[in-house]
Amino acid sequence: MTTYSATQRARLDGTLLASAVVVPLLTAAAALGADSWPARRFLALYTGPFFFAFFIWARLRLREPGPHSRGALAVDAAAVIAAALRLLSPAVPWSGHMVFYTYSAFTTRSLPYALLMLVLAGSATWFKLVLWDDPWSWGLGIVLGLFLAARRTVVHRARPPVAPEEKVRPPLSEPSGPS
């Protein structure tokens, strides 16, 4: 496992916080240039908040105490990839927003963040069910998010955390007799 110095962690923490602000603002700026109200609404109210949530989640995950098991980190990666796949291809049958909002709400130790996910999931639900009449991807996203959250909990509890690489010195041998 790679270990990070306090300076590296502070830089990454700052970068994630800045990204949580800058990327949604850039998305909102792009929305201003969109040619229709549905496109502006999609960028500003659906896509921008997702980026905010993602960068805040990554920052919270970085700040969680103690190391995480490799399995738990792999499930984190699977959740992010599952959410990103929908962004890359509308052929993916689940809602990436609902996967991520559900997963991150149930696997993050921050109550304010969980409440934010509740609000953002409510917003995504409005888009999916009211605007787009898409209960299928909405439901699959929730189910996949819950499955991954349960999997992370099981994997995280089953495996010991990844410890920083330590140099182990062999024990000193005792003298075998008088010299």
33 and 113 both lie in a single domain: no
Q: Are 94 and 86 in contact (CB under 8 A)?
A: yes
Helix (H), strand (E) at residue 10? helix 6-32
- Asked if residue 165 has pLDDT above 80, the reply is no
Q: Does a structural domain hold residue 172? A: no
Give tens-digit pLDDT for 25-55.
999 999 999 999 999 999 999 999 999 999 9
Domain termination site, one of 23, 40, 63: 63
pLDDT at 137: 97
Distance from C-alpha of 162 to C-alpha of 166, rounded to nearest angstrom = 11
With 50 as the cut, is the pLDDT of residue 166 above it?
no
Residue 89 counted as domain residue: yes
Task: Read off the pLDDT of residues 113-129 as tens digits, 9 standing for 90 and up.
Answer: 999 999 999 999 999 99
Does the pLDDT at position 1 exceed 50? no
What domain range includes position 144? 68-161
How many domains, the chain? 2
Three-state SS letters, 130-176? HHCCCHHHHHHHHHHHHHHHHHHHHHHHHCCCCCCCCCCCCCCCCCC
Let me know whether 149 and 98 are in one domain: yes
Compute the average pLDDT of residues 11-37.
96
Of the pLDDT bands very low, low, confident and very high (cuts 50, 70, 90), residue 4 is low
Identify whether residues 45 and 72 lie together within a single domain. Answer: no
> Is residue 131 a part of any domain in this protein?
yes
- The answer to whether residue 138 sits within a structural domain is yes
Based on the fold, state whether residues 156 and 126 are members of the same structural domain.
yes
Would the CA dihedral through 115, 75, 14, 124 be positive or negative? negative
Q: How far apart are the first and last CA of the chain?
A: 44
Q: Are residues 81 and 115 in the same domain?
A: yes
Q: Is the pLDDT of residue 178 over 80?
A: no
> Is residue 41 domain-shared with residue 85, that is, in the same domain?
no
Q: How far is C-alpha 55 from the chain's CA centre?
A: 8
pLDDT of residue 69: 83
pLDDT for res 134:
97
